[in-house]
A = this chain, B = another copy of it.
Amino acid sequence: MATISDVAKHAGLSKTTVSRVINNSPHVAPEKREKVLHAMKELNYSPNPSARRMRGNIMTSIGVIVPRIVNPFFSYLVDSIEKAAYEHGYQVVIFQSDERREKELSFLEMLKTKQVDAMIMTAIENDWEVIESYKQYGLILLCNEYLLNKGVSTVRVDQMNATFIGVKHLIEKGHRKIAYCTGGLFADDGKDKDRNKGFQKAMKEAGLDVNPQWVFVERHSIEDGKKVADQIIKMEDKPTAIFTGSDEVAGGILVELKSNGFKIPNDMAIIGFDDQPLAEIIDPKLTTIRQPISKMGEKCVEIIVSQNQGKGSEIIDCELQNELVIREST
């Protein structure tokens, strides 16, 4: 692999001049520039990023950590980040944490060692105090996941309101026995806490009680959804509607109920989350909450670009709104 010295030798010039050409600084004679360029082509030379980084030279690459790339929400989010970053001349590298703390940490090390200049975290596995200690090494951005007032820029959606309008939609359809299914826990803190609050708020406003038997936690996949349906089928006192935390779970519930003779939405109204492609091909088509994924990606990149250009390092908190997409399952 050719080095800058090889190019210099080949061109009969010094390394400095070659470096000047590479970084197109002025004060280099056109003819010499040509010579250098020619030598670079000839030797198929490209600068060694490791060496550049060692010199403290900042690169333009953005890391994105996702828990599970097979989750369409995250793959679409990554896609939008990648496209937006490309427009600005940034390269994106994607990491899958698999929801493991140690993987997340090993990725953050890349920030520490300047392998990437900024890291977008779409979920958080470790305690914030741990992650925060990496802030000194580069820009950390939270996207989707968020922690308020922790001194970190954030792009997020108003999950509480999203859930609120979803549940309210069910209530307006006349439902009073509403089940709730989440990917997180049904606690006031931790994962999906805002969605929980939105659910509780909507129920309370309508004077409805939350039936703990109708609350399902930590459900993620189509399979999980089918199991939830099986549980509901066996209940004496069944809900008439269910709000779920993902289209996949909603899809699983829908399919399993259908194959057990339930009519959707008459026997059970179902509402999903994310507006994934499957929402439109399932029968009946799924009512769901659409996330502003493209905007999220664009906003993340916008923040990184502006901060990288040294236009200040203020903490930005960007909140975007979800949208209720009413189809046939409610």
Contacts and interface: CB of A to CB of B under 8 A. Distances in A.
Q: Give the number of copies in the complex.
A: 2
Given A69-B94, A96-B78, A113 B50 contact: yes
A103 B72 CA distance: 23
A85 to B, nearest CB: 10
Nearest to A115: B49
A37 B280 CA distance: 56
Contact of A106 (B69, B91, B95, B251): B91
Contact of A51 (B54, B68, B248): B54
A126 interface: no
B91 A94 contact: no
A37 to B, nearest CB: 18
A25 interface: no
A79 B69 CA distance: 7
Contacts of A222: 277, 280-281
A83 interface: yes
A53 interface: yes
Interface in A244-260: 248, 251-252, 254-255, 258
Interface string A40-70: 0000101111110110000000000000111
A126 to B, nearest CB: 15
A96 B82 contact: yes
Interface in A182-231: 222
Interface string A80-106: 001100100001111110100001001
Contact of A94 (B53, B96, B277): B96
A65 B116 CA distance: 18
16 contacts: A46-B109, A49-B50, A49-B110, A49-B113, A49-B115, A54-B54, A68-B79, A69-B79, A70-B72, A83-B98, A94-B94, A94-B95, A248-B277, A258-B283, A278-B281, A283-B283
A278 B254 CA distance: 13
A22 B72 CA distance: 40
B46 A112 contact: yes
